[in-house]
Amino acid sequence: MTENSPALSLGVRENFTLDDRIRGVPPGTSGLDSSLVGSQRWHPADGRMSLPVLTLDEAAFAGNRDLFLRYAREQGVAVAPHAKTPMAPDLARTLVEAGAWGTTVADVRQATVMLRAGLTRLILANEVGGAGGASRLAALVGAWPDAELYVFADSVAAVKALAEAWRAQPGLPPLRVLVELGAGRAGARTTGEAEAIADAVMAAGGRLRIAGVATYEGAAAQPEPSRTDEVIGVLLEMTRDMLLRLRARLGEAPLIVTAGGSVFFDKVVAALLPTVLADAHATLVLRSGAIFFHDHGTYDRSLGLLDARQGFTIGGEKASARQSFRPALRIWSEVLSRPEPGQAICGMGMRDVSCDQGFPTPLSVYRAGKPVSGQLADAKVVKLNDQHAFVSLAPGTELAVGDVVEFGISHPCTCLDRYRVIFGVDETGHVSHAFPTYFG
């Protein structure tokens, strides 16, 4: 795609059956083929859909996709979006079809989901554990021997477990291992530990292969921004140094260096790209995932901080990431009660929406399916129960029982995992697609 190419639309290849046991599906619906969902003309505010329900603004998602992939192309980096965010193969596939290098997963089961969907270049951005995890990974690779799979390792013990599993099955192709460095979560803490991991991989008799180096800078974030800069800087410098050490060991073998969530990807590019560009056989792979969904909370604030450090560039010019990326997810909930003048109770709670990094944000009101303005001035979610949202209202607010409130969310990862189906909506707000999820 060029910068002037039309955006690729979203599509669904997985047909399945919808019925009213699934969140959002209207009561009385049974045996509806998911390919027909667009013809139903459902709208989350018109009273037919079961509430609460999660929707995906397809135009916003496609715009975020095309913008971030354009950024990556212009910077000269690759992207393997983290599929754990939606666990929706159709959405992962549209990212690859639009130009993503591959897909990232967090465990063996997630890898299975993506492999079954035809996504065969995967980074398993996590350790798999000991002998049990290594044997499960070997079983997966045995079922998908042609897959291009990369796995993290941050200890000699983990490497030995992988080597034993691979020696036990000589028919398996060599496993690509990424030496993981880390701070705040998993990952070797010193260059010496990382070198020992590389030694163990090379001692596996060819059953394992060093494929590069990996880290996750987001786990290194600190309460103090200045301290965050320091810790992330040290981690990325250690990662860069380890890439050079691996290059000295391996000659011209292809290597990847991978990092980059949805908050500090600019720091990753600034710290690692110059070394990668100087290496004709290395690739920098970002693993950002939530940025394709964005939000009205934690990622909105994080992109504000990215803008403050002028970290986003498009077309050779500094740009505002916060203004360029659009929140794509919404939760729709009905007003159940107005027990007090300054309070509304909506039918949405901790079982329905993320709250680990901020409460949802009231955005708009619909009454009898039509938008109503002026009802949410100073409105704020102040508390969540299992199934209830406590919304604080300004004096005189005429929000009524039965009104449908559209909320923005904070933190896509812990919202999407509550839904078996993500309903994509078009520019009119009507449901156009149903994307199945596979959270387990």
HSE (side-chain half, CA atoms, 13 Å) at 205: 9
The pLDDT tens digits for 290-333 are 999 999 999 999 999 999 999 999 999 999 999 999 999 999 99
Alpha carbons 205 and 207: distance in angstroms, whole number: 6
Specify the pLDDT at position 398: 93
What sections of 278-398 are H helices per DSSP? 298-308, 321-324
**What band does 4 get if pLDDT is binned at 50, 70 and 90?**
very low
Residue 321: both structure tokens together: 């990431």
Specify the pLDDT at position 176: 98
The pLDDT tens digits for 100-133 are 999 999 999 999 999 999 999 999 999 999 999 9
pLDDT of 157 above 70? yes
pLDDT of 272 above 60? yes
Alpha carbons 368 and 335: distance in angstroms, whole number: 12
**What band does 11 get if pLDDT is binned at 50, 70 and 90?**
confident
pLDDT of 342 above 90? yes
Q: Of 137, 153, 157, 133, nearest to 145 (Cα)?
A: 137
3-state secondary structure at position 28 = coil
**What band does 226 get if pLDDT is binned at 50, 70 and 90?**
confident
Q: Which amino acid is at 17?
A: T
The pLDDT tens digits for 57-92 are 999 999 999 999 999 999 999 999 999 999 999 999
Which residues 6+ apart lie within 8 Å of 227 measured at CB? none
Specify the pLDDT at position 323: 97
Specify the pLDDT at position 321: 98
The pLDDT tens digits for 397-436 are 999 999 999 999 999 999 999 999 999 999 999 999 999 9
- pTM for the whole structure: 0.96
| Contact in structure between 201 and 166 (CB atoms under 8 Å) | no
HSE (side-chain half, CA atoms, 13 Å) at 9: 9
Long-range contacts of range 35-43, CB-CB < 8 Å, 24 or more positions apart? 37/423, 37/431, 37/432, 37/433, 37/434, 38/430, 38/431, 38/432, 38/433, 40/431, 41/430, 41/431, 42/423, 42/430, 42/431, 43/369, 43/425, 43/428, 43/429, 43/430, 43/431
Alpha carbons 18 and 13: distance in angstroms, whole number: 15
In the chain, % of residues over pLDDT 90: 95
Q: What share of the chain is helix, strand, coil (3-state, %, to 5)?
A: 35, 25, 45
pLDDT of 3 above 70? no
Q: Of 33, 108, 94, 22, nearest to 58 (Cα)?
A: 94
Alpha carbons 374 and 371: distance in angstroms, whole number: 10
